[in-house]
């Protein structure tokens, strides 16, 4: 698995750890009230990518919506 993208509801350390365990890149947006978590390097990396480099983050995240539309009858 190369990438994991999901809705904001799935942002959490457990899901980030699960993705890291299979060496997947994570693209889950943060809720508006969330902040950096200095004890988690993966959280920090994703938080900064989402907050400061959305031009790189959003194309990966939007692949999720495209896949969902194709799988519907």
User: What's the confidence (pLDDT) of residue 17?
Assistant: 92
Q: How far is CA 24 from the centre of its chain?
A: 10
- Whether 69 has a pLDDT exceeding 90, the answer reads no
Q: Provide the number of structural domains found in the chain.
A: 1
pLDDT of residue 22: 94
Domain that holds residue 56: 3-71
Each residue's pLDDT tens digit, 45-65? 999 999 999 999 999 888 865
pLDDT, position 73: 56
DSSP 3-state assignment of 27? strand
Using alpha carbons, select from 15, 46, 68, 10 the residue that is nearest to residue 1: 15
Q: What is the mean predicted confidence (pLDDT) over 34-50?
A: 89
Nearest residue to 47 (alpha-carbon basis) of 62, 37, 59, 61: 37
Calpha distance 36→5 (Å, rounded): 19
The pLDDT value given to residue 65 = 58
Cα–Cα dist 17/28, whole Å: 13
Q: What is the pLDDT of residue 68?
A: 52
């Amino acid at each position: 698995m190369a990438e994991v993208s999901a809705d904001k509801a799935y942002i959490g350390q457990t899901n980030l750890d699960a993705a890291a365990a299979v060496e997947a890149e994570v693209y889950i947006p943060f809720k508006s009230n969330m902040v950096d978590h200095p004890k988690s390097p993966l959280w920090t990396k994703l938080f900064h990518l989402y907050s400061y480099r959305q031009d790189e983050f959003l194309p990966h995240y939007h692949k999720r919506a495209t896949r969902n539309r194709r799988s519907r009858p």
